[in-house]
Structure 1
Amino acid sequence: MKAAFLINSNEPLVIREVPTPEPKENEILIKLAYSALNHRDVWIQKGQYAGTKEGLILGSDGFGTVTGVGINVSNEWVGKEVIINPGHNWGDNPAAFGDDFKILGNPDPGTFAEYITIDEKYIHAKPAHLTDAEAAALPLAGLTTYRALFTRAALAAGEKILITGIGAGTALLALKYAIAAGAQVYVTSGSQDKIDKAKELGAVDGFIYKDENWPIKAKDITGGFEVILDSASGSGFGNLIEIVKPGGRIVFFGGTDGPIGNIIPNKVYWRNISILGTTMGTLQDFKDMLAFTEKHEIKPVIDKIYSKLSQAQEAFDYMHQGKQFGKIVLANQ
């Protein structure tokens, strides 16, 4: 089979022919039709991800058809269209993952390949309302944002939520999930065009974070937010403290802008603000995310589809530019 390999950090991906894997006990063999990129893949390539190993098949998201099964797996899976839960070995504590937790694509071989073997417990039937490419784009972003919004932040109908950095696949799924839950959604972006597109999807309004006065405007317009969802962190995180309501929740799952600074402690504890970190989710979170997605027929926003596996590096370069509005998908041909 063909696969896209990262041989060394800070080098382009290369396409190699390698043996097709064979399913072991409890495993399923999937012929992948589409995979999807996440910022995690780019960070791994750049050597900026903890635990990075070289000589990897990257990729956490995938959709395909089951072509074989290992011992103890029913043959009824063969021919089924499936998606993959990329979060493995969470552990017994639903509040936080254990020492054995890992995300598909590092260190285990990922989805930028023609075939992959996965333990049966991480395989789920494709939601019927999704296209093949949309199915590939759902798992990691869906799991991350569903847990952030509902398991961690306990977002409720009628609450105001601010989602930062709209345009990312995670942020756009969060927008759709929050609207489906009955929340009033506001967004931030460095681009007015992205804010306008978010409003077309149901956002109430948006704010240009490059405007240093945006927190004042946001608070004047909204009165503050019960929930804020962030993936940037960095020096701008202090602004979120200013615009969250007393008793509000700030939940975040990324650090693209670096370490968090300039937080005045008494503005957090005096106002009883909760700052919640989150990463991926449990097996139950994934099942609940799928059920919610199917109930409300939510679809990931896709920005661009590359038609060949050999275009993997081109797709990575495009993601690094940060201009996309939605997920970047790769056909595994």
Structure 2
Amino acid sequence: MKALVHEGKAGLEGLSYRDMPAAEPGTGEVRVKLKTAGLNHRDLFVVHRHKPEDPQLIIGSDGAGIIDAIGEGVVGIEVGDEVILNPGLGWKENSDAPPAGFEIIGLPGHGTFAGQINVPIDNVELKPGHLSWEEAGVLSLAALTAYRALFTKGKVKEGMHVLIPGIGGGVATFLLQFAKAAGAKVYVTSRSAEKCESALQLGADQALDSNEDWEQALGGQKVDLVIESVGAATFNKSLKQLRPGGTLVTFGSSTGDSVDFNLREFFYGQFTMHGSTMGSKEEYREMLQFIDKHRIKPIVDTMYTLEQFEEAFKRLEEAKQLGKIGFYIPE
């Protein structure tokens, strides 16, 4: 089978589109013939974390396709079923944090940028019927991350005011769609006027320039919940917009991991802060039920072939996308 493989060199220079051997599914596994796959920022991190001396690795965490082989002991699914992959391995029940041994498809094991993949039966669900293959292939990692951050950690409710800095990426666009479906009032920020306009078309109640004074732009309106992933560039501005007793959930730090903030203002403000990453199988199923109920679809920015991986990664690195970037998998 053809696959996008990392080996031999650090970073993107170690990627090549090449032939790789296929394998039969093991006990408790199914083999999925992939039709589409989604590109995530995690894939950028993986190619930098995967060392040149490590064994060759097929990257990719998101995907959707058709069951074409079933391993011993698998019940409840059949060859020919259309499925979507849950990229989280070994996290079944909702819990405060992932259990020991939790991993994600695409590192350390092979991932989804290939003609097929073997995964545990626990990691496949039937593809939601209202989603196209393009939409299903890019859904899982970003949508699950958004769902846990917003509902499990942020406890969003109807009527709440929610701020989402850095609209544009896959998780942020899911956060906007999910929060609006839950009945919240949603504010977003971006440096891009085009992304702000697109966010308004997706239902945002107000879109702010990331560089302007948010408090002034919002007319002094404070928010109940901030879902923060930008990091150092926006963290303190986000805190400033929280109402007393409000909650901030953080799941990313694209502009830097280190932040200085005023502890006295934090505890006098009675703020709550949660860290969040990915989610459990239980939350994944809840997320699929939620998108099915509200007929939510991923915002698909651009689809590429796997041979066009350099263009896809460049678009992601330059943050030009609105929503998700995906790949078509060759027959």
Q: TM-score range by the shorter chain?
A: over 0.9
- Give the gaps of 5 or more residues in structure 2: none
After the TM superposition, which residues 15-164 of structure 1 pair with which residues of structure 2 at under 5 Å, given as runs?
15-47=17-49, 55-74=56-75, 76-90=77-91, 94-164=95-165
Q: Deviations over 1:134-178 (max 9, x none)?
A: 001110011000000000010010011011111101100110000
Alpha-carbon deviation of 1:268?
1.2
Name the counterpart of 1:320: 317
257, 260, 263: which one pairs with 1:259?
Answer: 257
Residues of 1 paired with 2:130 and 2:93: CA distance?
A: 32
Alpha-carbon deviation of 1:230?
1.3
Name the counterpart of 1:293: 291
Instruction: In structure 1, give the amino acid aligned to 2:83.
Output: V
Residues of 1 paired with 2:6 and 2:23: CA distance?
A: 18
- Check if 1:242 corresponds to 2:240: yes
Name the counterpart of 2:326: 329
Name the counterpart of 2:4: 4
For residues 219 and 246 of structure 1, do their structure 2 counterparts lie closer, same or farther at Cα, with a shift above 3 Å needed?
farther
After the TM superposition, which residues 174-323 of structure 1 pair with which residues of structure 2 at under 5 Å, given as runs?
174-211=175-212, 214-220=213-219, 223-306=221-304, 308-323=305-320
For residues 266 and 219 of structure 1, do their structure 2 counterparts lie closer, same or farther at Cα, with a shift above 3 Å needed?
farther
Residues of 2 paired with 1:117 and 1:312: CA distance?
A: 22
Q: Deviations over 1:99-143 (max 9, x none)?
A: 201111011100000000000011000000000010011100110
TM-score, normalised with respect to structure 2 = 0.95
Identity among equivalent positions (%) equals 37
Residues of 2 paired with 1:179 and 1:262: CA distance?
A: 31
For residues 75 and 177 of structure 1, do their structure 2 counterparts lie closer, same or farther at Cα, with a shift above 3 Å needed?
closer
Alpha-carbon deviation of 1:91?
6.5
Residues of 2 paired with 1:280 and 1:265: CA distance?
A: 28
- Give the gaps of 5 or more residues in structure 1: none
For residues 237 and 260 of structure 1, do their structure 2 counterparts lie closer, same or farther at Cα, with a shift above 3 Å needed?
farther
SS in 2 for 1:97: coil
Alpha-carbon deviation of 1:235?
4.3
What is the CA RMSD across the aligned residues, in angstroms?
1.7
SS in 2 for 1:105: coil
Instruction: In structure 2, give the amino acid aligned to 1:256.
Output: S
Instruction: In structure 2, give the amino acid aligned to 1:138.
Output: L
For residues 291 and 247 of structure 1, do their structure 2 counterparts lie closer, same or farther at Cα, with a shift above 3 Å needed?
same
TM-score, normalised with respect to structure 1 = 0.94
Is contact 2:93-2:282 (8 Å) kept?
A: no
